[in-house]
Amino acid sequence: MTIAEATRARLDSLAKPPGSLGRLERLAIRLAETQGRVDPSAAPRRLIVFAGDHGVVAEGVGLWPDSVTTAMMRLMLEGRAGSAALARGAGAEMVLVDAGSKAEGLSGEAYRDWRVARGTANLAQGPAMSAPEFEAALAVGARAAAEADAAGVRVLALGEMGIGNTTPAACLAALLARVEPARVIGPGAGATAESLARKQAVVTEAVARARALKDPRTAIAAVAGFEIAAIAGCIAEAARRGLTVVLDGFIVGAGALVAQALDPAAMEACIAAHRSAEPGHALVLERLGLEPFLDWEMRLGEGTGALLLLPMLDAAGSLLRDVATLAEVTGG
Ligand SMILES: O=C(O)c1ccc[n+]([C@@H]2O[C@H](COP(=O)([O-])O)[C@@H](O)[C@H]2O)c1
Ligand SMILES: Cc1cc2nc[nH]c2cc1C
């Protein structure tokens, strides 16, 4: 019997009409699958926000200057960003990782002066990163997962911060889901008709160049971002360690596509928290084979969508662990 079948049997044996908790039951089955046990737990949990900057911002693909990446990370450290507020509410510890500079995991006041030290090269003019840089960013993410596991964390919520990163995310979605760029281009953190047209042109050209590269890792590195590669490395390592990974929006989804390309089994650890308002996200989730549990029209990033699902994961875990069986109630 698979874990999914055993969990379904357990749910059907509980003191309730079969299926009466609707999608919460599907979430419980998914949580059980990711942990390989019928009595899973959504605690302790940790939000990891991976940050990176992007040379492609110079092409006018968005509205914001890349100084906003560092400014927002500092706001997270101060506990005043949207993600920080939601993490407090969800009882999730928050760890910030500068994927670009390969800095140490960050949390707390001591890191006030931290900044994104290095962004990717402009992917419109050449590869965003070299093969060794790609491997180093994967390792940054893997180390973050290993540290979480060593600290006893069972559930990792993944988020990102990186002005410009919907452009590499769109490139990766087009490349790895094998769709036309137009299907995965969207407004990101805001757009004008002009910035959208630039993004469309940049993504179309970069994806065509990446598709011509024979080695898949080189092709991915050519259009990736440091935080996106770190997310991929984090998912792969968390999956190897049996942690549950709760995915946020479009950019984290692009990181998951990279993880899937490197190791398809990594998807077994993943739960898609929500479907982002970014139009390409639905296609990414389809390609990942994951069902989004929420659709709240969110597109902030920072892990906010993943955090929103955590109380429901608690409910799913409690259901499996704490509810009496029908046999106990009816005496048979
Ligand atoms: O999570 C999402 O689905 C999402 C969708 C659109 C934008 N974002 C956030 O907005 C930033 C990227 O937008 P942009 O327009 O600068 O490419 C980045 O910091 C992301 O966290 C996030
Ligand atoms: C203000 C701001 C906050 C963000 N958080 C994640 N992406 C962001 C993009 C902007 C522009």
Q: What is the pLDDT along the chain (332 residues), one digit of tens a residue?
A: 999 999 999 999 999 999 999 999 999 999 999 999 999 999 999 999 999 999 999 999 999 998 899 889 889 988 999 999 999 999 999 999 888 753 444 444 434 444 456 799 999 999 999 999 999 899 989 999 999 999 999 999 999 999 999 999 999 999 999 999 999 999 999 999 999 999 999 999 999 999 999 999 999 999 999 999 999 999 999 999 999 999 999 999 999 999 999 999 999 999 999 999 999 999 999 999 999 999 999 999 999 999 999 999 999 999 999 999 999 988 76
Same domain for 55 and 34, yes or no, is: no
Give the separation between CA 245 and CA 236, rounded to whole angstroms.
Answer: 10
Q: Is 189 in the pocket of ligand 1 (CB under 6 A)?
A: yes
Residues 16-29 have pLDDT tens digits of 999 999 999 999 99
What confidence score (pLDDT) does residue 113 get?
Answer: 42
What confidence score (pLDDT) does residue 332 get?
Answer: 62
What confidence score (pLDDT) does residue 148 get?
Answer: 95
What confidence score (pLDDT) does residue 118 get?
Answer: 74
Alpha helices in 36-63 (DSSP H): none
Q: Which ligand is nearest to the CA of 73?
A: 2
Give the separation between CA 167 and CA 61, rounded to whole angstroms.
Answer: 7
What confidence score (pLDDT) does residue 330 get?
Answer: 85
In order of 54, 209, 322, the CA distances from 64 in angstroms are 12, 26, 48
Nearest-atom number in ligand 1 for the CA of 281 is 3
Same domain for 80 and 25, yes or no, is: no
CATH of the domain at 71: 3.40.50.10210
Give the separation between CA 99 and CA 50, rounded to whole angstroms.
Answer: 6
What confidence score (pLDDT) does residue 70 get?
Answer: 86
Give the separation between CA 260 and CA 185, rounded to whole angstroms.
Answer: 21
Same domain for 162 and 122, yes or no, is: yes
Same domain for 119 and 193, yes or no, is: yes
Question: Can you give the residue range of the structural domain that contains 14?
Answer: 3-39+319-330
The helix or strand, by DSSP H or E, that contains position 171, with its residue range, turns out to be helix 166-176
Same domain for 326 and 194, yes or no, is: no
The DSSP output letter for 1 is -
Same domain for 196 and 272, yes or no, is: yes
Dihedral angle, C-alpha 296, 265, 176, 69, nearest 10 ° = 50
In order of 124, 162, 207, the CA distances from 116 in angstroms are 21, 10, 26
Unique residue bearing structure tokens 């090269």: 121
Q: Classify residue 120 by burial, with Cβ atoms within 10 Å: 0-12, 13-18, 19+.
A: buried
What confidence score (pLDDT) does residue 108 get?
Answer: 42
Strand order from edge to edge, sheet including 270-272: 93-98, 45-51, 155-161, 244-247, 270-272
Give the separation between CA 113 and CA 102, rounded to whole angstroms.
Answer: 15
Same domain for 219 and 268, yes or no, is: yes
Q: Is 308 left (phi over 0), alpha (psi -120 to 50) or beta?
A: alpha
The DSSP output letter for 104 is P
Same domain for 22 and 66, yes or no, is: no
Q: Is the peptide bond before 44 cis (omega within 30 degrees of 0)?
A: yes
302 is catalytic: yes
- Structure-block tokens of residue 135: 């491997």
- Total count of domains within the chain: 2
Mutation choice for ligand 1 from 63, 161, 165, CB with most ligand atoms inside 8 A:
165
Give the separation between CA 309 and CA 286, rounded to whole angstroms.
Answer: 19
Q: What is the largest CA-CA distance in the chain?
A: 72
The DSSP output letter for 245 is E
Contact at 8 Å (CB) between 166 and 174? no
Catalytic residue among 59, 237, 278, 302: 302
Question: What is the complex's ipTM, to 2 decimals?
Answer: 0.99
Same domain for 33 and 74, yes or no, is: no
Same domain for 253 and 206, yes or no, is: yes
Q: Is 302 in the pocket of ligand 2 (CB under 6 A)?
A: yes
What confidence score (pLDDT) does residue 117 get?
Answer: 62
Smallest Cα–Cα separation from 247: which of 119, 160, 133, 129?
A: 160
- Within 10 Å of residue 13's Cβ, how many Cβ atoms? 15
Same domain for 214 and 324, yes or no, is: no
Same domain for 32 and 157, yes or no, is: no
Contact at 8 Å (CB) between 159 and 251? no
CATH of the domain at 33: 1.10.1610.10
Question: What is the 263 CA–ligand 2 centroid distance (Å)?
Answer: 30
Start-to-end CA span in the chain (Å): 24
